[in-house]
């Protein structure tokens, strides 16, 4: 009778071993994904700046798109990489997760104890615009960059800075995707460009009304028509443009958050647009 139970035990052991292999493979994949992000440093105006950068030797074989991902105020590059994981969703792209510096916030942290990005042109000697320039210059040395496919996205303060990049480095960007932000100081400097704006209907920090006003201004700037569904995700609307620079909005029912489905939408949007 004892030996009759052995096959069942072996099946149980086999199932357990199979699950262990699966979990082990997933864990190994996660480790490799983490290792794919290299810690890089630059010295800009005497200050050491940092970023996590994806990219492998094979990227040098053909021109690759570049995506800059800017964390929100109080965040950091590691959190942005984990939250967005665009390097996993778009492995063919070189993805940069820059690290901000202590910055006084306009809505929070007025003492500037937490990391963030400049809010307007000229702030802090344009340290973050210069940082962007330095990183992009290095990527051109290390990889074959597709200059027609360079993109920027960011959440909250990172979204504000994305708008600032559009205003002052827009000739280098194919499209942008700010989240939970408003184009306040940069709005008058923007030139038509494809944009995906992500906002929560119950955002009480960067108020939804402010963001809606930004969206309305962008639709006017880009000469957009009436909205139509975009993607299967509820809340996504495409406003076609006479200029070929559409505005896409993802209006979710949350607050000042970055929904987990947002990175996939950003990647889809970026893949649809390139500089002429």
What the chain holds in terms of domains, given with CATH numbers, is: 40-271 (3.40.50.1820)
pLDDT of residue 107: 86
pLDDT of residue 29: 39
> Which secondary-structure segment (H or E) carries 43?
strand 37-44
> What is the average per-residue pLDDT within 258-272?
97
Q: Do β-strands 195-200 and 175-179 pair in parallel, antiparallel, or remain unpaired?
A: parallel
Residue at token pair 């939250």: 83
Closest-CA residue to 272 (of 252, 245, 234): 245
pLDDT of residue 17: 33
3-state secondary structure of 24: helix
Q: How far apart are CA 71 and CA 83, in angstroms?
A: 9
Q: Do β-strands 37-44 and 47-54 pair in parallel, antiparallel, or remain unpaired?
A: antiparallel
The DSSP letter of residue 223 is: T
pLDDT of residue 60: 63
Token couple for 173: 């960007």
| pTM score over 0.95 | no
**Over the range 189-202, which residues count as b (16 or more CB within 10 Å of their CB) and which as e?**
ebebbbbbbbbbee
Beta-bridge mates of residue 38: 53
Closest-CA residue to 149 (of 30, 92, 64): 64
Q: Of 102-106, 144-148, 155-159, 197-201, which range is least confident?
A: 102-106
Instruction: Write the CA distances from 190 to 6, 87, 173, integer angstroms.
Output: 72, 28, 12
Closest-CA residue to 260 (of 94, 86, 99): 86
- What percentage of residues in the chain have a pLDDT greater than 70? 86
Q: How far apart are CA 128 and CA 44, in angstroms?
A: 9
Q: Which residue would you say has higher pLDDT here, 36 or 164?
A: 164
Sign of CA dihedral 103, 106, 110, 114: negative
Give residue-wise pLDDT tens across range 222-236. Answer: 999 999 999 989 999
pLDDT of residue 5: 39
Q: Of 55-64, 77-86, 112-121, 227-236, which range is least confident?
A: 55-64
Give residue-wise pLDDT tens across range 188-198. Answer: 899 999 999 99
Give residue-wise pLDDT tens across range 19-68. Answer: 333 333 333 333 344 448 999 999 999 999 999 999 855 556 789 999 99
């Amino acid at each position: 009778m004892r030996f009759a139970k052995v096959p069942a035990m072996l099946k149980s052991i086999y199932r357990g071993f199979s699950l262990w292999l699966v979990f082990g493979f997933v864990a190994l994949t996660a480790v490799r994904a983490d290792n794919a992000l290299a810690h890089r440093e630059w010295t800009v105006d005497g200050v050491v700046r940092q970023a996590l950068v994806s990219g492998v030797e094979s990227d040098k074989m053909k021109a690759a798109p570049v995506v800059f991902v800017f964390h929100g105020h109080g965040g950091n590059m590691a959190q942005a990489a984990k939250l967005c994981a665009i390097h996993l969703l778009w492995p063919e792209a070189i993805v940069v997760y820059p690290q901000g510096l202590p910055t006084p916030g306009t809505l929070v942290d007025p003492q500037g104890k937490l990391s963030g990005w400049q809010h307007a042109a000229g702030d802090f000697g344009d340290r973050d615009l210069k940082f962007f320039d330095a990183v992009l210059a290095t990527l051109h040395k290390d990889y074959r960059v597709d200059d027609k496919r360079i993109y920027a996205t960011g959440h909250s303060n990172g979204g504000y800075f994305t708008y600032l990049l559009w205003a002052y480095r827009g000739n280098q960007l194919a499209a942008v995707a700010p989240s939970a932000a408003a184009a306040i100081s940069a709005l008058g400097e923007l030139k038509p460009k494809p944009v995906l704006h992500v906002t929560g209907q119950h955002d009480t920090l960067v108020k939804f009304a402010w963001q809606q006003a930004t969206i309305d201004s962008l639709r006017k700037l880009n000469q957009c028509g009436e909205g139509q569904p975009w993607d299967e995700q509820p809340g996504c609307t495409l406003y076609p443009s006479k200029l070929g620079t559409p505005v896409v909005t993802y209006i979710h029912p949350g607050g000042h958050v970055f929904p987990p489905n947002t990175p996939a939408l950003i990647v889809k949007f970026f893949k649809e647009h390139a500089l002429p």
